[in-house]
Amino acid sequence: MRGARLDGNLVDVGVAGGRISRIAPEIEKQGGREIEAEGRLLSPPFVESHVHLDTTLTAGEPRWNESGTLFEGIQIWSERKKSVTHEDVIERATTLLKWQAAQGVLHVRTHVDVTDPDLTGLRALLEVRERVRTWMDVQIVAFPQEGLLSYPRGLELTEEALRLGADVVGGIPHYEHTREMGVESVKQCFRLAEKHDKPIDIHCDETDDPQSRFLEVVAAEAIRTGMGGRVTASHTTAFGSYDNAYAFKLMGFLRKSGINFVANPLINITLQGRYDTYPKRRGITRVKELWQNGLNVSLGHDDVMDPWYPLGTGNMLQPAHMAVHACHMTSREEVTACFDMVAENAAHTLRLKEYGISEDHPASFVLLDAPDKWEAMRRLATTTLVVRNGKIIAEATAPEYYLMGERVNLYRKRDQPSR
Ligand code: FE2
């Protein structure tokens, strides 16, 4: 690959045997195919750290979510669940994975609802994970949507999902019937994780209720077990509603725990704040402060066209773009940080090995129609090339605009990319 922009420099990238053999300002011609990057941004692939492939692409079935709340979404899903079949899940999940891969996402962590006596969604996604293995990595979280302890046999079903091959233990303490059951559910998640040697990713405090304080339980268990970086707290939207005295105490404690955070800005900004009049809360966790405190924060899309969110194409720049706004991350450095939250940081959450662009790593990367991450965010740039293990798996043409026959390129004069 000739003339790609990496960390502000134009480089050539040599690929052999599916791996990056060399990165240098100029590599002599050695035969094989050459791609002209034309100064585009070379980035490691996007990583989707939180999505629901079992519920995706069902928006409007059997009805649309009129209140826009999390709880109406859960109700609609429990109705739609009755008509879920193996083929239905495979078809929808594979469609979204294709949308994602076409836009440069090569790693996906999906939660799958295991509060279903037949584990239909789980069995389907285990099959999907194998079918797509040549072009996409999928991690499956056994997620007890209707409660690990509150749903009949929820604990047994979650453990059965792990035995069948789920990669990660999930939970939903704020949805358990009582606070005590919520605390106990977190402890049971850790027990399962230790028993089956799996990481943990818990839907934690996804509510505006400032009394929802299961994050401290997750952090305490992470410290007690030493699981630290193998633990992820997803959503933690109540953290946006805690008073500052408690939030300050908690932050120190979180630093000690070393757990990962996943915020889902598109879904949090739309699902939360629904019971407020004005002022309306943003309903999103303290992304900026977690990031400033050195904790690993990634961003997920969460839902794509399902009972909780009617829009989306799986493009990871959309949640990153929303984070810039909803989390007040508009400085030069902060905008770039939001880009990293759907790439490097998300790779860290998923504990991916050999991620990133360096010699000897797998040749898995994307080109974006922008000179740098900041411009990619501003222009919601098109991913024009997706390479996985040295093979081109997707290509796209960036849109071109013409006004009265003259090309308009959406750059200021001083920011025009060279080459
Ligand atoms: Fe979720």
- As a whole number, mean pLDDT of residues 390-408 equals 97
Domain boundary among 328, 349, 370: 349
**DSSP of 21-84, one letter per residue?**
EEEES-----SS---B-TTPEEEPPEEEEEE-TTTTT-TTSS---SS--HHHHHHHHHHHGGG-
> If you measure from the C-alpha of residue 145 to the centroid of ligand 1, how many angstroms do you get, rounded to a whole number?
9
- Same-domain pairing of 289 and 142: yes
How much of the chain, in percent, has pLDDT values that exceed 70?
100
The whole-model pTM stands at 0.97
- List, for residues 292-328, the tens digit of each pLDDT value: 999 999 999 999 999 999 999 999 999 999 999 999 9
- Same-domain pairing of 36 and 51: no
Exactly one of 48, 159, 176, 206 is catalytic; which is it?
Answer: 206
- Same-domain pairing of 107 and 139: yes
- Same-domain pairing of 114 and 254: yes
- List, for residues 88-123, the tens digit of each pLDDT value: 999 999 999 999 999 999 999 999 999 999 999 999
- Which positions ≥6 away from 282 have C-beta within 8 Å? 240, 268, 269, 272, 273, 326
Quote the pLDDT of residue 419: 60
Give CA–CA dist 231/97, Å, rounded. Answer: 25
Range of the domain at 32: 4-44+357-415
- As a whole number, mean pLDDT of residues 179-193 equals 98
Give CA–CA dist 154/48, Å, rounded. Answer: 26
- Same-domain pairing of 335 and 198: yes
Give CA–CA dist 258/222, Å, rounded. Answer: 8
- As a whole number, mean pLDDT of residues 373-392 equals 98
On average, the pLDDT of the chain sits at 97
> If you measure from the C-alpha of residue 237 to the centroid of ligand 1, how many angstroms do you get, rounded to a whole number?
12
Judge whether 216 counts as a catalytic residue.
Answer: no
- Same-domain pairing of 31 and 52: no
- Secondary structure of residue 135 in the 3-state scheme: coil
The CATH number of the domain where 380 resides is what?
Answer: 2.30.40.10
- Same-domain pairing of 67 and 143: yes
* pLDDT of 418 above 80: no
**Which contacts qualify for 32-39: CB closer than 8 Å, 24 or more apart?**
34/1, 34/2, 35/1, 35/2, 35/385, 36/2, 36/3, 37/1, 37/2, 37/3, 37/4, 37/5, 37/367, 37/385, 38/3, 38/419, 39/3, 39/4, 39/5, 39/10, 39/371, 39/417, 39/418, 39/419
Quote the pLDDT of residue 71: 83
- Same-domain pairing of 219 and 179: yes
Residue in the structure block whose two tokens are 């922009």? 5
> If you measure from the C-alpha of residue 309 to the centroid of ligand 1, how many angstroms do you get, rounded to a whole number?
11
What count of other Cβ atoms lies within 10 Å of the Cβ of residue 398?
A: 14
> If you measure from the C-alpha of residue 201 to the centroid of ligand 1, how many angstroms do you get, rounded to a whole number?
10
